[in-house]
Amino acid sequence: MIKVQQYETNLRELIEENGYTFKEISEETGISLSALFIYARGERSIPHESRYKIARVIGCSVTDVVSKRQLQKEVSKKIVTDDLLTELEDELANRWNLYHTVGAKYAYLGLDTKLQELDKLAQFAEGTRWSNQALMLLAMGYQLQSCVLRDMMDYKQSHIAYQKAFDVARMLEDQELMVSALAREGVTLIQQEKPQEAVIYLVGALNLLDDHGSLVLRGYILQGISEAYAKVARADESWRSIEQAEKYQTECVCIQERSLIRGVTTASIAAQKGVNAVLLREHQRAITLIDESLKTYDTSLTRGYARLLIQKAEASLGLETIDACVHHALEALSLAKGAGSSKTIARVQTLHNCLQQSHWRKEPSVIRLGMALKGNR
C-alpha cells in the first residue's frame, strides 16, 4: 500500500475552538467541504490563498492555520535563497515583457506550472525574511495570469486569478499591488463589455491611492476610466477623464517598479483618445487621433498595435471607406494571430459580420477578409 504523505495542521482545532463548523467555513471561503476535510486530515498541504481565506473568516493569523512544527520543517529545507528569488523575479518580468510585446500565448506557456512553484515557494518562505518578497512575486504572477486569460477571452478564469492576486496583496497590505490588481480587473471588465462594473473597480482603485500615490498608476487608471465611460456613451466624463490622465503622461515609457504597470505616454494618450472617439462614434476624429498615435507608437508592443488597427478599421467602416476598413482589419488580424490575441481576432470577425450584412458584402476586399478569417479557424 502506498503511504499518503501527512501534513501537520491546526485546522480542525481552529474551526472547533472558535465555534465554527466545516460547513460554515466552506460557505464563507468558497473552499469545498471535501477539500477542507482533506486539509484537516493532513492529506494535502493547504494552498496559501486558502490559508488566508480561512484565517480571515476565523479571525486568526495565516500561520495559525498550520502548526509551528510544519513551518519550521518547511523552512529547514532551505530552498529559498536571495539568488532564487532574484532569478524568479527576472523570469516573471520577462514574462510580462513577452505579454506586452509578442502576446498572451507566449506568456501563457508554462505559466500555470510557474505559479504552482511560486505558491509552494511562498509557503516555504512563510515566517522568514523572504516571505514578503515571495508573496509579492505570487501576487504579480496571478496578475499576469489574469491579464493573459483576459486576452484569451477566458474571463471566468481571469476573474479567479484577479481575486487570488488581490487576496495576496491585501494580506501583504501592499497598496500598490492592491491598486494594480483592481485596475487590471477593471480593464478586464471593459474588454468583457461590462463598462459600468469596470468603472466601479477603476474608481475604487483610484480611491485606494492616497494623495501621494503613484503618478504612473493614477494615469493608467484614469485612462481606463475614460474608455469605460466612452463605452456607455458618457462623452463628457470620458473626455474629462482622459484629460486628467494626460497630466501624468511622459515622453518615454515609465514602468511601476513592483506592479509593472506601464505609465501613459504621449502616444498612448493619443491612442486612447482615438479608441474613445471610435466608441463615441466620432469616426473622423478617431482616425486623426489614431494616426497621430501610430506615428510614435512602439511597434514592438504587438498586442496594443493590433488593437489600434482594428479600432481604425471600425472608424473607417463608420465613414464608409470600405477598402481602408478592410486593409486595417487585415493588418490587425495578422498581428493578432501572431500575438494570440483572441479579443482582437474576435473584433475582426465582428467587423466582417457587419460587412457581410451590408450592401458591401460582395466587394472583393470584404471577400478577401472573409477568406483570411477562415484561414484562422
Query: Is residue 170 within 8 Å of residue 178, measured between CB atoms?
Result: yes
Query: Is residue 171 within 8 Å of residue 183, measured between CB atoms?
Result: no
Instruction: Using alpha carbons only, give the angle 183, 168, 10 rounded to the nearest 5 degrees.
Output: 155
- 104-159 pLDDT per residue, tens: 878 888 888 889 888 888 888 888 889 999 999 999 999 999 999 998 889 999 99
Query: Domain for residue 28, yes or no?
Result: yes
Query: Domain for residue 23, yes or no?
Result: yes
Structural domain that includes position 43: 11-66
User: In CATH, what number is assigned to the domain containing residue 33?
Assistant: 1.10.260.40
Domain count, the chain: 1
Q: Kindly state the cell numbers that stand for 251.
A: 515622453
Query: Is residue 188 within 8 Å of residue 149, measured between CB atoms?
Result: no
Query: Domain for residue 142, yes or no?
Result: no
What is the average per-residue pLDDT within 260-275? 88
Query: Domain for residue 360, yes or no?
Result: no
Query: Domain for residue 131, yes or no?
Result: no
- 197-253 pLDDT per residue, tens: 999 999 999 999 876 678 899 999 999 999 999 999 999 999 999 999 999 988 777
Query: Domain for residue 18, yes or no?
Result: yes
Whole-angstrom distance, CA of residue 337 vs CA of residue 254 = 28
- 134-145 pLDDT per residue, tens: 999 999 999 999
Query: Domain for residue 16, yes or no?
Result: yes
Indicate whether this model's pTM tops 0.85. Answer: no
Greater confidence (300 vs 162) lies with 162
Query: Is residue 306 within 8 Å of residue 339, measured between CB atoms?
Result: yes
52-59 long-range CB contacts below 8 Å, 24 or more apart? 52/167, 52/168, 52/171, 53/28, 53/29, 53/167, 54/11, 54/14, 54/25, 54/29, 56/29, 57/20, 57/25, 57/28, 57/29, 58/14, 58/15, 58/18, 58/20, 58/25, 59/18
DSSP secondary structure, 193-225, as one string: T-HHHHHHHHHHHHHHS-TT--HHHHHHHHHHH
Whole-angstrom distance, CA of residue 217 vs CA of residue 304 = 18
Query: Domain for residue 317, yes or no?
Result: no
